[in-house]
Amino acid sequence: MSNLDNSYITPTKDSPIFMAECDHFGYLSQSIHYKDSVIECADDNSGACLNTFALSYESAIKYLHDYLCSEDGQWAMKEYPKAKFSIYLIDGSQDKRLGRYKTQKVYTISSKKATQLLNF
Burial class (CB in 10 A: 0-12, 13-18, 19+), 75: exposed
Regions of the chain short of the pLDDT cut 70: 1-8, 30-50, 120
What is the per-residue pLDDT for 106?
Answer: 97
Q: What is the pTM of this model?
A: 0.77
Task: Report pLDDT digits (tens) over 22-42.
Answer: 999 888 876 544 444 444 444
Domain borders along the chain are: 17-117
